[in-house]
Structure 1
Amino acid sequence: MEQAALNTATPAEVNVPSSEEKFETKTGKRKSDDLEDKSQTNRRGKRQRGEGGKKLRAGERYIPPPQKKNRGVSFCQEHFDETTYYFEGGLRKVCPYYFDFRTYCKGRWIGKSLLELFKSEFRAESIEYYRMAAKEGRIRLNETPVDDLSVVLRNNDYMRNTVHRHEPPVVGKPLEILVDDGEVLVVDKPASIPVHPCGRFRHNTVIFILGKERGISELHTVHRLDRLTSGVLLFARTLEASKKLDQLVRDRQLEKEYVCRVEGEFPEDELICEEPILVVSFKIGICRVDPKGKECRTIFQRINFNGKTSVVRCLPLTGRTHQIRVHLQYLGFPILNDPIYGSSAWGPHRGKGGLVGKSNEELLEALVEENRSQESLHLLHMLDDGIDQGADQNKKPEKEAKQDGASELNTSVGMSHGCTDEAPPGNGDHLCSECKLVRPDPTEKELVMYLHALRYKGPDFEYSTRLPDWAKEDWVEAD
């Protein structure tokens, strides 16, 4: 989120794994190992007894107690070694790989069979697919393979689903390290690369690229940039540096300067927008101007105008999610190629002046449908988080899903790529629908939004990048 999310909505440390990571216990075992040990013990001598030695009724399953997650574990070499990169057509691509999605049974799932769950919430793949996956041991409950989808889910059931994962490609431009002084790491982030693993992205993220190619890990987040935004990205190397930078953020002593290219002729005089911003959806990060939102303030100054579009300097004085993008939309000058705030889903005025004419729910549905119809990565990649995916978040008809091979239980959905001749051999999977598809590479329009973090400045430091080519006065957008 461009200048936003400054230690307000996410943990302060990059080394906090997501729910899909393999957590380690204090004894050094992985969480999965601990569950395996309990399962083996149960099979050896506790088949008829539950937790605390309680006898199980006929046909009753033993469910191990939930394990505490050790959130002090970083991504490590084991994670980095899951797959490799390859480069093609100016893009960084990830060889498809096997990956385990893990989750505890949700409250709304209790009492439902796996078959009912797949039919009601995970409908993009056919039931036949899940039956075949179960037969091959890819679906497990409490680390025990499930060969019968009629099994009824109970509280604390631990589910694991092994999928053949395909990640969307990102630009092949290397990550340029601007500063690494032992306390602070500053990177010039290219557009299209997420900072952290999210949705369909894992290895094609700043965190994994730094870990795999530079051997850099154990970083602390200072701020984040949207996937499509480029520019200055700060990490703290030590806890002390993290606390210092975090205090600067809270005290608003961290000055931020962005540049962007917007549609139309932006006014020559300085504009200040102070409209409050409300988060409509935390899951996919959609915001809008709303009186019930949080106070915001952004200063805008035009740099140049080429007859069609304008380059604007942006000085956000607060750090709200998507602040620059939402304020420019409100002013009627959406960022060029902004797939969200320049979308027609906001209505005929595209949100100018706060005029939308839709409820939050209607707006979200319209945005998702527009991205889906265009097979766009911008929102759809956020709607896939493996086994923890509800039907209410994806209303795609079964017929359409079967045509494009999408899978809500599998990260090989949407705009991810099928196995190509350029990828190393042996990466195909006979159950993976995405492996049967060959999708065109994304275009620059899908990978780049014209917003760049140009400079971050504190009381005793300043980190900056070069001005992007698209910010030059004579720049012309390619057809």
Structure 2
Amino acid sequence: MSRRARIALKEAKLETKALKAKRPGFTDDRYNETSYYIENGLRKVYPYYFTFTTFTKGRWVGERILDVFAREFRAHPAEEYERCIQAGTLTVNYEKVPTDYKLKHNDLLANVVHRHETPVLANPIKLIHVDEDLVVLDKPCSLPVHPCGRYRHNTVVFILAKEYNLKNLRTIHRLDRLTSGLLLFGRSPKKARQMEHQIRKDRLTSGLLLFGRSPKKARQMEHQIRNRLVQKEYVCRVEGEFPDEIIECKEPIEVVSYKIGVCKVSPKGKDCITIFQKLGYNGETSIVLCKPKTGRMHQIRVHLQYLGYPVVNDPLYNHEVFGPVKGKGGDLGGKTDEQLVRDLIHIHNAENWLGMDGDSELSMFNPRKGDLDDSLVSALGPKDRVLGDDDADPVSREPSPCEEPCETATSLACERSPHPLSISTLSSANRNDAKVTVATQTGHEAPDHSFNPDKMTVDKHCYECKVRYRDPKPQDLVMYLHAWKYKGPGWEYETELPEWARISLVLRLS
């Protein structure tokens, strides 16, 4: 590389760094840009204005901004993007430009949208332990840990900041959106890194969560998690009668698509081990204790699918899209990875899998109906970052919202469950309960969650304001997988068992 090229590269990096520095991050202004209300047992977010940002891709350089948006982001016609550019809501480097502006390297594109979030169950977050270094909590199901997809204020980190006054927490590990259970955060980078070295986790899962409140504590916990110094125990409810003997599954797991978050057992995958033990059986389903010895993506769920005992209401791995036997024994019905991803995109509403943790350009706008082939290319292709301008987490992503409400494979899988669900049984929260819980645990009073019509904004140009959405079905908001216990060097935490696991386990332990 010539001296001139090196200088140009250095200047480009400095320019990129300066543009990124303009992003506000998680500030009080961001936390206060909207608020919550509770309706029908669901926590809902008043719509608000938000800025999606992305840097110019190499293939866009030299093209007109209007041509790029008309081709790459086809949720709206070119006329709508022309209106946005002329109105100054679609900008380059936070400055208004003409519609014939030609994109350059490192140009930061920003688009202001009227953002609508997906409701979650109104169950309160239960704090298990809080000190100057660490926050440990029991995450309710349906709630993502970090902003992703159609979730931002309806996430653990935003609710903790807004209602528990617990801010600037460091990620140690994660849980899937539908999974409940133990979650840890460091209150410092050091503690977060220390704990993360010991633990790894998913998002649909509920359960124990740990946050480091200081850098030292965060690094310490991160180290323990990553280096497998932590003993982890989960409980789940699976289809059928699980074997009486202890089962050790050592099948390697391969990520089929990072974009949509799908894995399978494959010889090309990474080594992993999960130990399973049946705790109870009710004639139709079994309660199973799960002890993952490694921390691969969706490890417990994929291993249970492979063994032929998928989690009862798993919207992804308990589905015929994986073949006639739903992936048992690695049998996908002869499908290639490309066919599997294509079928998943056609069958599932992306919001009802794992929040679709992808980050393609489709994040900024919805694809038009009929563009699923392009979505498939994006799902299997390279990763391109599309961020909200407060996206401070390097792995938080903004996938494309769903086009409209639909009957998903999630509901099909869950309707077969012998344990009917209702919002009233899943959500125990109301305004008084939430206030008592928050005030008792943190001394920080929760706001009034009654609906205020004055806070409901409407934008005449917003597509979602024109669509009447149904509330999510109860079976779309829970999965019977719970992070129960975590134990590391000098520490141990556990949550209460969820109702669906409690009876069987009590019988087993009595």
- TM-score class normalised by the smaller sequence: 0.7 to 0.9
Q: Counterpart in 2 of 1:61?
A: none
Q: Counterpart in 1 of 2:102?
A: 152
Establish whether residue 177 from structure 1 lines up as the match of residue 127 from structure 2.
yes
SS at match of 1:177: strand
1:328-339 → structure 2 map (5 Å cutoff): 328-339=304-315
Shift of 1:127: 2.2
Q: 1:206 to 1:383 in 2, by over 3 A?
A: same
Q: Counterpart in 1 of 2:348?
A: 371
Establish whether residue 471 from structure 1 lines up as the match of residue 481 from structure 2.
no
Q: 1:223-280: per-residue Cα shift (whole Å, max 9, x none)?
A: 1101110001011111211222122223322110000011111111111100011112
SS at match of 1:145: coil
For 1:324 and 1:305, locate their aligned partners in 2 and report how far apart those are by CA, in whole Å.
19
Q: 1:285-325: per-residue Cα shift (whole Å, max 9, x none)?
A: 21111111111110101111111111110000111111100
1:208-223 → structure 2 map (5 Å cutoff): 208-223=158-173
Q: Counterpart in 2 of 1:258?
A: 234
Q: Counterpart in 1 of 2:459?
A: 429
Establish whether residue 226 from structure 1 lines up as the match of residue 184 from structure 2.
no
Q: 1:72 to 1:245 in 2, by over 3 A?
A: farther
1:315-394 → structure 2 map (5 Å cutoff): 315-356=291-332, 357-372=334-349, 376-378=351-353, 381-383=356-358
Question: Do the aligned residues in 2 keep the contact of 1:199 with 1:385 (CA within 8 Å)?
Answer: no
Q: Counterpart in 1 of 2:195?
A: none
For 1:354 and 1:78, locate their aligned partners in 2 and report how far apart those are by CA, in whole Å.
49
For 2:309 and 2:92, locate their aligned partners in 1 and report how far apart those are by CA, in whole Å.
51
1:443-458 → structure 2 map (5 Å cutoff): 443-458=473-488
Question: Do the aligned residues in 2 keep the contact of 1:195 with 1:207 (CA within 8 Å)?
Answer: yes
Question: Do the aligned residues in 2 keep the contact of 1:169 with 1:416 (CA within 8 Å)?
Answer: no
Shift of 1:397: 1.8
RMSD: 3.0
Deviates more, 1:107-116 or 1:425-434: 107-116
What is the one-letter code of the residue matched to 2:63? Answer: K
What is the one-letter code of the residue matched to 1:371? Answer: H
What is the one-letter code of the residue matched to 1:447? Answer: L
Shift of 1:426: 5.0
**Structure 1: gaps spanning 5 or more residues:** 1-51, 53-63, 400-407
SS at match of 1:67: helix
1:60-99 → structure 2 map (5 Å cutoff): 65-68=15-18, 69=20, 75-99=26-50
For 2:126 and 2:403, locate their aligned partners in 1 and report how far apart those are by CA, in whole Å.
27
Q: Counterpart in 2 of 1:439?
A: 469
What is the one-letter code of the residue matched to 1:306? Answer: N
Q: 1:103-156: per-residue Cα shift (whole Å, max 9, x none)?
A: 2101122233233323322112222322222232211122222352x3332222
For 1:196 and 1:459, locate their aligned partners in 2 and report how far apart those are by CA, in whole Å.
27
Q: 1:336 to 1:257 in 2, by over 3 A?
A: same
Q: Counterpart in 1 of 2:138?
A: 188
Q: Counterpart in 1 of 2:274?
A: 298
What is the identity percentage for the equivalent residue pairs of Structure 1 and Structure 2?
47
Shift of 1:474: 7.1
For 2:399 and 2:36, locate their aligned partners in 1 and report how far apart those are by CA, in whole Å.
17
Pairing partner for 1:205 from 155, 158, 162: 155
1:49-64 → structure 2 map (5 Å cutoff): none
Q: Counterpart in 2 of 1:285?
A: 261
Q: 1:390-437: per-residue Cα shift (whole Å, max 9, x none)?
A: 99xx573279xxxxxxxx9998942789xxx86544510010010011
For 1:270 and 1:386, locate their aligned partners in 2 and report how far apart those are by CA, in whole Å.
45
For 1:422 and 1:412, locate their aligned partners in 2 and report how far apart those are by CA, in whole Å.
28
For 2:236 and 2:403, locate their aligned partners in 1 and report how far apart those are by CA, in whole Å.
26
Question: Do the aligned residues in 2 keep the contact of 1:101 with 1:386 (CA within 8 Å)?
Answer: no
Q: 1:424 to 1:131 in 2, by over 3 A?
A: same
Shift of 1:328: 0.3
Question: Do the aligned residues in 1 keep the contact of 2:280 with 2:504 (CA within 8 Å)?
Answer: no
TM-score normalised by L of structure 2: 0.72
For 2:73 and 2:62, locate their aligned partners in 1 and report how far apart those are by CA, in whole Å.
16
Q: 1:156 to 1:248 in 2, by over 3 A?
A: closer
Higher helix share: 2
